[in-house]
Structure formats: structure tokens, C-alpha cells
């Protein structure tokens, strides 16, 4: 059975479709586009081509496909250029549609290419990792990395639809599934105490009967935040709450070198650092911090850095983060487990101490 959820953004509204296998639904969408005279192309990565060849064929048929190398290195200026050249080579015009099939890297790269090509064409998201299903495929944030930092170039460009087909997770490596769980845990911490308690009681696995419902639950939280604050302009709270753990996590990714940590692994350490910062601000207790770390560890995620990273480099990376305001990082902190808030003006020493406690050198 296919379930749906609408992201209500006026003329930019779109539906999320949830089901065990939506291959026929994607193929039907391709057929309708072509019958309407619209050119269609697809972007994915080589890992997915190898692992899900039958699923891709069932969804795409003879649609032209560009398969890039997996990993953050493809989410670059050079990677963007390859996608734009591919779209031009296949003659997509302003009525064209790009299908983006993959994880967070492919979604960000493909979405930004769609936002940039001919000043904007339509695209559809078909997320194939847990992280992309619960987070990055929804909300229209697209972008690429620079040497100076993660996602420093990008655009808000909403997809025309999202097909969340859980059968695509069958070939997902265990490490990638765990990375997606960092974002699921984030949703519980920032706005769903019952979800956090559920994860605390019974860790979620790729075979859990509750997996589909949890994915939809996370998407619903994100949809409501995006609807209220699409462009992340709220003075307090709003869409910025989705950055819980990310100010620390993005710094880890940059300093360690993109690919050393999966995005979700860096966010997991970032969640633990954010919990420690929240404790230092007097919002939560040491027992709460221990609960956060226990849930993170129960889902095969790191609670500390694998090896020390220089604190000077980490704090410099945080200073270049997109969320900096008036020269200071803007952190998302926990008021309690299940409730987050944005907070400015935090003394740098507190953030540095939190970073040291998760292994910064």
C-alpha cells in the first residue's frame, strides 16, 4: 500500500510517496513525463548501479543515466560541471526532468544541478539510503562542498516529488544504515520524545517492522518545519532545529577530510557534543547526556572521534559554517530530550570543551 504525505509550500508543494516497492510508480511517472513531451534524464552513483541494477532498470527503462563516483568528492564544483554537461548533452530544456536516485550526496548534487541548469529545471528524488529517506531528500536544500567547508554553495530548490521505496534499503551496507540512524535519533531529540524513547527501548534495524513507520514519522517532522520556515530565516527555532549536531558534525567532516567519516557518523559525534554543550548551559543533566550516548552507541554509531582532531582546526571550521551569525556559531541545543532550541552568543570556550570531551585534541 502506498502512503502519501504532502509538503505544503503553495505553488511549490509536493507529495512524498511511501511504500515497500515503488518501482512501478516511478516508471509510470517517467511514462507520463515522456507522453507529455518532456525529456527525462537520471543521476545516480556507481555503487547503486552495481547493487540495484534490476531496480534501476524497472524504474528508468531507457532513460539516459549518469553514474558518478560515490562519496563526498563528487559533491564538488567539478562534479557539478559533469552533471550540467550531461544534461546539456542529452538536450534537456526548461521542460526537462532530472530523476535523482541515491543517497544524500547524489540528492544534494543532483538537486543543485537542477537548480542551476537553465536557471532551474524540475527534479524528482528517489532516495536509496536511510539518511536520504528520512532527511536530505525532503525540504529542497541542495548544494556542494568547497575546501573551506561543507555545503557552502547551494540553493533552495524543492523537488517535484519524492518516492521513498524501502526495498531499496535491502542492499544498503550496515555502516550506511547506521549513518542514517543518526538523523533518526536527531529527530527524536529535537522534537519527538516518544520516538527517542522507542529507539532507547528497541534499537531500530534494517529488518525492524517499525522501520517504514519511523521513516514516515521523521519525514512528517521535517515537512512541518520546512513548511513553517522554508528558507531558514526564523530568528529562533524554525528549520534551523534540523541542524542539531551538524555544526559540530560538519566541522568534523571537513577537518578529517570528506569521506573519513560518513555524514551520519560525524553527526552522531556532533549529537553527543551538542548534548554535552546543552548540559554545560544548564539545560539537561549528566544522566540525559548518558542516555543520548547510549542510544547513539546502540545504533552502531560513534560517540567520540576515532582519533583526535586538532581543536584549532575544528573551531576554525565552525567559524566558517553557514549558520554563523555576527561572527559566532549558532548552535542548536537541547532544552530537554525531545525539545531543541537555537541559541546564539554561546561562549566559544563552552563549545571547545564539548568538542574536547568527544575527543578533539
Q: For 178-188, what is each residue's pLDDT tens digit?
A: 999 999 999 99
| Each residue's pLDDT tens digit, 184-218 | 999 999 999 999 999 999 999 999 999 999 999 99
pLDDT at 322: 65
pLDDT at 298: 98
Please pick, among 35, 119, 147, 201, the residue that the annotation labels catalytic.
119
Known catalytic residue: 239?
yes
Q: Where in the chain is the domain with CATH 1.20.1090.10?
A: 195-205+216-357
Known catalytic residue: 157?
no
Please pick, among 150, 222, 323, 330, the residue that the annotation labels catalytic.
222
Domain 3-171 CATH assignment equals 3.40.50.1970: yes
Known catalytic residue: 32?
no
CA distance 359 to 144: 27
Going from the C-alpha of 206 to that of each of 132, 162, 178, 214, the distances in angstroms are 15, 21, 9, 11
Q: Where in the chain is the domain with CATH 3.40.50.1970?
A: 3-171
Known catalytic residue: 276?
no
Residues of the chain with pLDDT under 50: none
pTM of the model: 0.96
CA distance 213 to 218: 9
Known catalytic residue: 222?
yes
Tell me the CATH class for 195-205+216-357. Answer: mainly alpha
pLDDT at 324: 67
Please pick, among 75, 263, 276, 330, the residue that the annotation labels catalytic.
263
In b/e form, how buried is each residue of 280-305, taking b as 16+ CB within 10 angstroms?
Answer: bbebbeeebbebbbebbeebbbbbbb
| Each residue's pLDDT tens digit, 143-176 | 999 988 889 999 999 999 999 999 999 999 999 9
Amino acid at each position: 500500500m502506498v502512503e502519501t504525505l504532502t509538503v505544503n509550500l503553495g505553488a511549490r508543494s509536493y507529495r512524498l510517496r511511501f511504500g515497500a516497492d515503488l518501482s512501478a510508480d516511478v516508471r509510470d511517472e517517467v511514462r507520463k513525463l515522456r507522453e507529455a513531451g518532456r525529456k527525462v534524464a537520471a543521476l545516480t552513483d556507481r555503487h547503486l548501479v552495481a547493487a540495484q541494477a534490476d531496480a534501476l532498470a524497472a524504474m528508468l527503462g531507457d532513460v539516459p543515466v549518469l553514474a558518478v563516483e560515490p562519496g563526498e568528492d563528487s559533491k564538488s564544483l567539478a562534479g557539478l560541471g559533469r552533471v550540467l554537461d550531461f544534461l546539456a548533452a542529452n538536450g534537456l530544456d526548461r521542460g526537462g526532468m532530472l530523476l535523482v536516485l541515491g543517497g544524500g550526496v547524489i540528492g544534494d548534487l543532483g538537486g543543485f544541478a537542477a537548480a542551476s541548469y537553465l536557471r532551474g529545471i524540475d527534479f524528482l528524488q528517489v532516495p536509496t539510503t536511510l539518511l536520504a529517506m528520512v532527511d536530505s531528500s525532503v525540504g529542497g536544500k541542495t548544494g556542494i562542498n568547497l575546501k573551506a567547508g561543507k555545503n557552502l554553495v547551494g540553493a533552495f530548490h524543492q523537488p517535484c516529488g519524492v518516492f521513498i521505496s524501502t526495498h531499496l534499503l535491502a542492499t544498503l551496507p550496515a555502516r550506511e544504515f547506521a549513518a542514517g540512524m543518526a538523523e533518526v535519533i536527531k529527530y527524536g531529540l529535537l522534537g519527538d520524545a516518544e520516538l527517542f524513547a522507542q529507539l532507547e527501548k528497541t534499537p531500530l534495524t534494517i529488518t525492524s517492522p517499525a522501520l517504514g513507520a519511523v521513516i514516515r514519522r521523521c519525514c512528517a517532522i521535517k515537512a512541518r518545519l520546512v513548511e513553517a520556515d522554508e528558507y531558514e530565516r526564523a530568528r529562533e527555532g524554525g528549520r534551523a532545529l534540523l541542524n542539531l549536531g551538524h555544526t559540530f558534525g560538519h566541522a568534523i567532516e571537513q577537518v578529517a577530510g570528506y569521506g573519513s567519516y560518513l555524514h551520519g557518523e560525524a553527526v552522531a559525534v556532533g549529537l553527543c557534543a551538542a548534548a554535552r554543550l546543552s548540559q554545560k548551559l544548564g539545560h539537561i543533566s549528566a544522566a540525559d547526556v548518558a542516555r543520548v550516548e547510549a542510544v547513539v552507541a546502540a545504533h552502531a554509531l560513534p560517540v567520540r572521534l576515532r582519533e583526535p582532531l586538532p581543536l584549532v582546526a575544528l573551531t576554525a571550521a565552525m567559524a566558517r559554517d553557514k549558520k554563523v551569525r555576527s561572527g559566532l556559531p549558532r548552535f542548536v541545543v537541547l532544552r530537554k530530550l525531545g525539545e531543541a532550541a537555537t541559541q546564539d552568543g554561546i561562549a566559544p570556550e563552552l563549545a571547545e570543551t564539548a568538542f574536547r570531551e568527544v575527543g578533539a585534541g
